[in-house]
Structure 1
Amino acid sequence: MVLNSIEKLLEKYENGETSLKEEQVLKNYFSGDNVAPHLEHYKPMFMYFLGNQQEQFTKTLPLKTKKRFNYRWLSVAAVAVIMLGVYFNQPDDLGTIEDPELAFNEVSKQLAMISNHFNKGTATVGYLDEVNKGASTLNYLNEIENSTSIIFKKDQ
C-alpha cells in the first residue's frame, strides 16, 4: 500500500503537481534504507535535494542600488532649451529684397550652391552602379544553376 502511494506521488512529482508536504514524504522515503529496487534510481536525486536543503549562502550582498540617470528628463530639458532659443532669437528683419531681378539672382546663386553640394554627394555613391552590374551577373549565374538542376533532375 505504501509502495502504491509512493509511485503515485512520483508520478505527480514528475508532472509537477505535488505539494511541499508530498515532496517531503518522497524525500523521507528515499532517504530511508527500505527503498523498492525498481525505484532505486530516484534515490540519488532525492538525497541531493536533502543535502542541498541544508546549504546556506554565507556571502554578504550589497544592497545599495546604483543611481541611474533618467535620460527622459534630459531630452525634455533639451527640447525646452531649443524652444527658448528659437523664441528669443527670432530676427526682426528677415532681409526682404525689393528689386525682383536682384532677388532672382540671389535665389539662383543659392540654388546653384545647393546643386553643387548635391552633385558632390552623388559622385561619392557612383560605385553603386558597379554593385548593380555585379548583382545582375549573379542573376545570370542563378539562371544557369536553375537550368542545370532541371537537366540533372530529368536524368535521375
Structure 2
Amino acid sequence: MDLNRIEKLLEKYFEAETTEAEEQVLRDYFTGDDVAEHLEQYSTMFTFFSNAKQERFTKQVPLKTSKVYYRWISVAAVTVLVFGIYFGNRYQEQREAEYAYLQTKKALGLLAQNLDRGTEKMGYLHEFEETKQKIYKNN
C-alpha cells in the first residue's frame, strides 16, 4: 500500500475528516503485518478499535422495576395531598370559629355596657313614679 496515502489518511483521521471507507482502509493496514516502523505506534490503537467493534453486550437489562417506584411515589404524593387538604380545611374552620366567637363576645360586651346605662336611667323613672304618686295622694 502507498505509505504516503496512509500518512495522509492518518492525518485526516486525527482531524476527524475521514469517511468510513477511509477508516476501514486504515484499520486494514494497521491490523495487517506490513506496518511501517514509524507508524507501528498506531497499530495497537487500530487493533483495539477493531476488537472493540466486535464486542456485544449480551446481558438483559431489567426495565420494569422503576415503574413500581413511580407507582408508590404517586400514591404517597396523593396521600400527602389529601391529608393536607383535610387538615388544612379543619384548621381554617377552627380559625373561622375562633373569629366568630371573638366577634360575638365583643358584640355582647357592647350590649351589656349599653344595658347597664339603660338600667341607670330606669332608676330615675322609679323616682319620678314615686313623686307622681305622692302628688296624686296629696290632691
TM-score (norm 2): 0.52
Aligned residues: 100
Deviation of the 1:10 alpha carbon: 0.8
Residues in 2 aligned to 1:83 and 1:64: alpha-carbon distance in whole angstroms: 33
Deviation of the 1:40 alpha carbon: 1.5
Counterparts in 2 of 1:93 and 1:19: CA distance versus 1, 3 Å:
same
Runs of 5+ consecutive residues of structure 2 not aligned to the other structure: 111-139
Percentage of identical aligned residues: 42
> Which is helix-richer, 1 or 2?
2
Deviation of the 1:11 alpha carbon: 1.1
* Residue type of the alignment partner of 2:84: I
* Residue type of the alignment partner of 1:69: Y
Counterparts in 2 of 1:69 and 1:18: CA distance versus 1, 3 Å:
same
Cross-structure match for 2:122: none
Cross-structure match for 1:59: 59
Residues in 2 aligned to 1:64 and 1:80: alpha-carbon distance in whole angstroms: 28
Residues in 2 aligned to 1:39 and 1:93: alpha-carbon distance in whole angstroms: 90
Cross-structure match for 2:70: 69
TM-score (norm 1): 0.48
Deviation of the 1:73 alpha carbon: 7.3
Greater gyration radius: 2
- Any runs of at least 4 consecutive aligned residues in structure 1 with deviations exceeding 6 A, and if so which? none
Residues in 2 aligned to 1:23 and 1:69: alpha-carbon distance in whole angstroms: 45
* Residue type of the alignment partner of 2:70: F
* Residue type of the alignment partner of 1:51: N
Pairing 1:37-116 to 2, within 5 Å after superposition: 37-67=37-67, 68-69=69-70, 71=73, 74-75=76-77, 78-87=80-89, 90-91=93-94, 93-94=97-98, 95-96=101-102, 97-98=105-106, 99=109
Counterparts in 2 of 1:64 and 1:88: CA distance versus 1, 3 Å:
closer
Give a deviation string over 1:22-43, Cα, whole Å, max 9, x none: 2111000112222222212111
Deviation of the 1:75 alpha carbon: 4.6
Residues in 2 aligned to 1:28 and 1:6: alpha-carbon distance in whole angstroms: 11
* Residue type of the alignment partner of 1:38: H
Cross-structure match for 1:20: 20
**Considering only aligned residues, what root-mean-square deviation do their CA atoms show, in Å?**
3.2
